[in-house]
Amino acid sequence: MDPRFLPDGVDLERPNAARIYDWALGGTANWAVDREFGEQLVKAFPLIRSLARANRAFLGRAVRHCAEHGVNQFLDLGSGVPTVGNVHEIADDVDGDSRCVYVDNEPVAVAHARILLERNGDPARHAVLGGDLRDADDIWERAIDTGVLDPAKPVALLTVAVLHFVPGPGLADVIARYRRLLPAGSFYVLSHVTLSGVEGDELGQVQRVVKQYEQSSTPASFRDKEEIRGFFGDFDLVAPGLVPVGAWRLDDPHSPALNCAIGGVARKPGF
């Protein structure tokens, strides 16, 4: 991998969720430790790469939905390593004036995103921040300070495949703070792993995957469906609600029938 993507202090002794996800999607912003970990994941859960692709495709459909319904500003928390189908690329297909701020706490993801945006982005419309999504006021203030987002207009907040790497019951208060900061008419897009409704072989496989993540720098944790639904607060869930990511607005019989990753999109009332 290009050494420019390796900032000082990056831990290459342990695999990292952002780089593992990049590997699962077929990207190149990962190291041997991440690839070795990924191969072990495949042994524990053979459909792990299919699930990663299904989640990425959900992100794309959700972003397109927001843009098609008049929201062209995006704040992507835990955005990970840029790969095929980035938020700003999808949004630009719908609205050439779309805007996006990416946020991640993984230095490689941030460095990679900055180089990508230097090559292919527009500094007036795209930015990347390093930071901890749990500090909602700091992230929001810095995102607005980039000049990319207009706080007077609706924003689509994205937490896709990231909250299961953020421990603690206090996360609900963090997400509630973001909901209060968002203008009326904003969207909230979420996906999260869960054991709710997961049975049989899939249950055992997912449990083994989470156990394996304990060896990484980003351990994963489960939340049940009702706790995940609570992250939407009083926002109005759009149809079909909180469902497996492969089933959200996708009529595809070949989509993996997996219940362990669920997602949804909701809109803030009052617009």
Q: What is the dihedral of CA 170, 224, 212, 208, to 10 degrees?
A: 160
Residues of the chain with pLDDT under 70: 1-13, 28-29, 31, 82-84, 215-218, 251-257
The pLDDT of residue 4 is 46
Token pair for 69? 């319904």
> What tens digit of pLDDT does each residue of 52-96 get?
888 889 999 999 999 999 999 999 999 887 666 789 999 999 999
Fold type of domain 17-268? Rossmann fold (3.40.50)
Token pair for 60? 């794309």
The pLDDT of residue 15 is 76
136 half-sphere exposure, CB direction, 13 A CA radius: 15
The pLDDT of residue 130 is 94
The pLDDT of residue 1 is 46
Domain positions in the chain are 17-268
Largest CA distance in the chain: 49
DSSP string, 115-133: HHHHHH--TTTEEEEE--T
The pLDDT of residue 257 is 62
